[in-house]
Chains A and B, each alone.
Chain A
Amino acid sequence: MAPLELLLELTLMPLVAFLVGMMMVLMMRRIAARIQRRVGPPLFQPLYDIVKLHSKQTQVSHGLIHDIGIVMAMGGYIAAETLLPVPGMNGIAEKGGIITLLYLMMIPSLGLALGVGQCANPNGSIGIARALTAMLAYDIPLVIVIFGVAYAAGTTNLVDIIAQQQAGGFATWGAVQMPLLAVAGLIAMHASLGKQPFEIYIAPAEIATGPMVEMSGKHLGGLFVMQCFQLYTISVLYVSLFLGGGSTWFDFLLKSFLVLAIPASIAYLFPRYRTEDLLRLMWKWPVMLGLIGVAFVL
């Protein structure tokens, strides 16, 4: 591949991810509003928020690590996007594979955790403690699911996994081949979004939005950007693993938005779990489904 072309892809992939991610944020908020019989925010609301936050006059920072943490939170996802194939662009997906992707997706959490740590606010620290606990909760089923898919495909290369699913049309989709894993993956994915009922680490009424408590201005804006990437990454990963990726952009975006609409529609119907209940839930049902699914695959 020509270097220039690759460079273009590497630039375009995060950009697309950001734009689509913003739409996804909007979709989540609109769905929430609809469920609550509200109108919801206007089309460009996510953009307004980000621009406003970045243009705040006061940018309160608690130190260098506070800043770097936010940079890492954004940068980790930006890097992750280049490992996530989209129609027509593979980026460097072949050089990392799914395990690397999974680990790159942990970098933002770690960066955020560092940044929050320097804020010296116990609410933030508690939030991070809970966020990491939540990660422990949902990553276990997620890992089982990824193991199953990668083992079934015989590769960790996402490009190959997608190609295999597209080869036989609908019948070779992961979700059809491995329905149990798909369900387990959906639950784990929902938890990893950090939305209700799994938003234990935001918990505004309890720990004052946890990690975000001392975030203002561009710091908070950075987190909003990160959220766009996060939604995009998770839904596209799910689409790539189970729904055959996308052969065309339309197909791809449709699937991605639909996948995200499922947890979004469920989320706002429930109150929040406690931490230990989240753990209990995640370690019980999706793990059980996932293990049975893996047993089928083996």
Chain B
Amino acid sequence: MTLTLLDELLLFSGATLLVALFIGRGLAAGWMVTILYGGQLLTLLKMAALGYGGGIIASSLSFTVMGQNLSWRFDALSWFFALITLGSALLSSWFACGAWERSYAKQGGNIWLFHLAMALNVLSMLILLASGDLLSLFIGWELVSWAGFLLMALAGGVATQAAMRYITYAMAGGMAIFGGLALVYSSSGSLQLDAVLIAVESMSTTKLWLLVILFGGGFGVKMGLLPFHLWQAPAYAETPGPGSAFLGAISSRMGLFAILLVLVKLFGIVNIDSLKIPFTLIDARDLLAWIAVFTIIFPTFTAMKQNDARHLLAWHGIGQGGYMLLGVVVADAMGGAGGLLHVFNHATYQAALFMAVTAVIHRTGTADLNKLGGLVVRMPLSFMVLLIGIIGLAGLPPMNGFVSKWLVYRSLLNEGMPLLFLAAVIGTLGTILSVYKLIHNIFLGQLRVEHEQVKEAPWSMMAPMLILAAIIFITGLFPGIPLAWVASVQEVVGLPATDYTLGGVESVSGSLDMIWVIGVLFAGFGIGAVIFYSAGRSKRVHQLDNYAGGHFLSADVRYQYSDNFYAGLMHLVGGWYRGSFLWLEKSVISLIDFLSLVMQGLYRRANAEFYLLSTALFVMAWVVI
């Protein structure tokens, strides 16, 4: 039996897991695992042909269990997601090695378990991405869910609580998918993709609706789509630093992968479009699009109110997922490209942001936005990475996030969807507001006395951050690089492929060439710099030499604006934060609690024989009637 490249990759990944498992407690285990991730990435790069024009690489691994065929294979879609997965795993693991690891162990963390969980996550994600039929998809799906649970829960305390919440949601989602799977099976008699593809054509509308709801809801839980988003932010935020970088970068995108595979590729956007909601003008596709934009808006504005940097980022992670879904649901060439490209872009900047915040935590011990400030003079490189990251996150030129958002906007514009367009822009504006709060409260403003002696993050942490920052910028400058992969993914899932160039996209209704845009932007900066620096040399002053209406400032008095940062905005919209979703969640829990109480009461009754007799009588009566 010859091993295909996919076999090699999976074996490599399995080997990584074993290394983490057995010699993970040894010396330099982190570095070994990191190198192995690098090896996996190289193996993946050997499959690069998939990313440029498709094809399929099958695994020689396949089973038949209880009459079900299980097989695994890679295509452009899997390759694209696997690239992001392995890239973020490599960099997160690298980030974890060395200084971070030591301080984490010193605080009582279990570094062996951490590397193990990471390796497990990567392996399970690869298995999911390689799934060749719906059953193997579900198997991969559940593996990813539970592996994620392990990574989220391992920090203990608050993290475990958040992970518990996650797993409850994930189980609910998983069971929805399971149910959907059963329904698909009942009508197609098989879970092979081509069989399902045929069965979908003859499915009744009701069934298709049901399936869209079950699959959409199930996959949506992982993506953190409204109203299933509550678990995500605390779970990702409380995961140990590099873990949250990894999870934030790719984990919830597995939901998008599954949506692409099942809803877009198998069911087809056209079929979904034909599902009308009676008595309204909207159909299932509109519904998805609206869910997407609400997923953009609500979590983004929740992020704005967070006072913990990690939570803020994690909430944005949910919001950005909305752009991806929105682009995919719009489903024209530009929208699909935008949505898919955003997966890549989001992974890069989200990982960079989480790493930068983790670096700050590593040096200062806190991520509380009210307890930091002014760190730019002590951690300038981290500042730079965070800055590049937030520009990407906010979707401003010259970083890569701009390109993908631009594509999504353009598609909405082309399709004539003003409200969705508006909602997407509101999300972006909200993002700008909240990321400024992030960078301001950590790096700008007044440096606290206790942070006077803080040092820049160590190089083992700095290097992956800088690499990510470089990727963010380069793919912003040459979006054609990832767009090539995206175009082949679009072909695979049956969306129209976009017409890309190295610098952006070509279109009769307005093109984008980032090379030029960034070129003039930097030329502009250059001219600005000439104007600015032509004036006399500046004299640096201490932060306490500052205007305070004539007041004498001293180091013991905090002269920083951080809390309730957007007070004016909150005067108006503060009342709109009703916590409705939290309320909903609490209500469901109380309902279950109440029912549970009732049921326990039922079992606690002493006169059980009464039940027996009454049941018997009831049943008899029922029979006679």
Which residues of A are interface residues toward B (Cβ below 8 A)?
Answer: 10, 14, 54-65, 67, 70-80, 82-83, 92, 94-100, 103-104, 106-107, 110, 113-114, 117-123, 125-126, 128-130, 132-133, 135-136, 139-140, 143-144, 147-148, 150-151, 154-157, 160, 200, 208, 213-214, 217-218, 221-222, 225, 274-276, 279-280, 291, 294, 298
Contact = CB atoms under 8 A, between A and B. Distances in A.
A134 B499 CA distance: 37
A279 B546 contact: no
B572 interface: yes
- Residue of A62, A73, A79 ringed by the most chain B CB atoms within 10 A: A79
Given A92-B520, A96-B513, A120-B446, 7 more contacts: A59-B538, A82-B520, A103-B397, A120-B559, A136-B430, A156-B510, A275-B568
Given A110-B436, A155-B509, A129 B413 contact: no
Given A136-B569, A157-B510, A143 B425 contact: yes
B409 interface: yes
- Which bracket fits the contact residues of B? 35 or more
Judged by DSSP, the binding face of B is helix
Contacts of A60: 538-539, 541
Identify which of B377, B567, B572 gathers the most chain A CB atoms within 10 Å of its CB: B572
Interface stretch (B67-75, B106-114, B258-266, B528-536): B528-536
A80 B523 CA distance: 11
B536 A218 contact: yes
Interface string B446-478: 110000000000000000000000000000000
Contact of B418 (A65, A98, A144, A213): A144
B526 interface: yes
A110 B396 contact: yes
Interface in B394-445: 394-397, 402, 406, 409-410, 413, 416, 418, 421-422, 425-426, 429-430, 432-433, 436-437, 439-440, 443-445
Nearest to B568: A275
A54 B383 CA distance: 29
B578 interface: no
A120 B410 CA distance: 39
A10 B440 contact: no
B601 interface: no
B517 interface: yes
Contact of A279 (B391, B445, B513, B569): B569
Given A155-B510, A217-B535, A122 B569 contact: no
Contacts of B444: 65, 114, 117-118, 120, 125
Contact of A10 (B377, B429, B523, B567): B523
Contacts, number: 261
Nearest to A293: B418
Contact of B397 (A97, A104, A143, A217): A104
Nearest to A279: B572
Nearest to A275: B568
Interface of B: 373-374, 376-377, 380, 383, 387, 391, 394-397, 402, 406, 409-410, 413, 416, 418, 421-422, 425-426, 429-430, 432-433, 436-437, 439-440, 443-447, 508-513, 516-517, 520-529, 531-541, 543, 546-549, 559-562, 565-569, 571-573
Nearest to A295: B418
A97 B512 contact: yes
A222 B516 contact: no
B456 to A, nearest CB: 14
B524 A129 contact: no
The 3 A-B pairs with the shortest beta carbon distances in the complex, nearest first, are A275-B568, A117-B444, A79-B524
Contact of A77 (B511, B517, B524): B524
B413 to A, nearest CB: 6
A92 B524 contact: no
B396 A61 contact: no
B538 A67 contact: yes
Given A100-B397, A208-B549, A222 B440 contact: no
A125 B541 contact: no
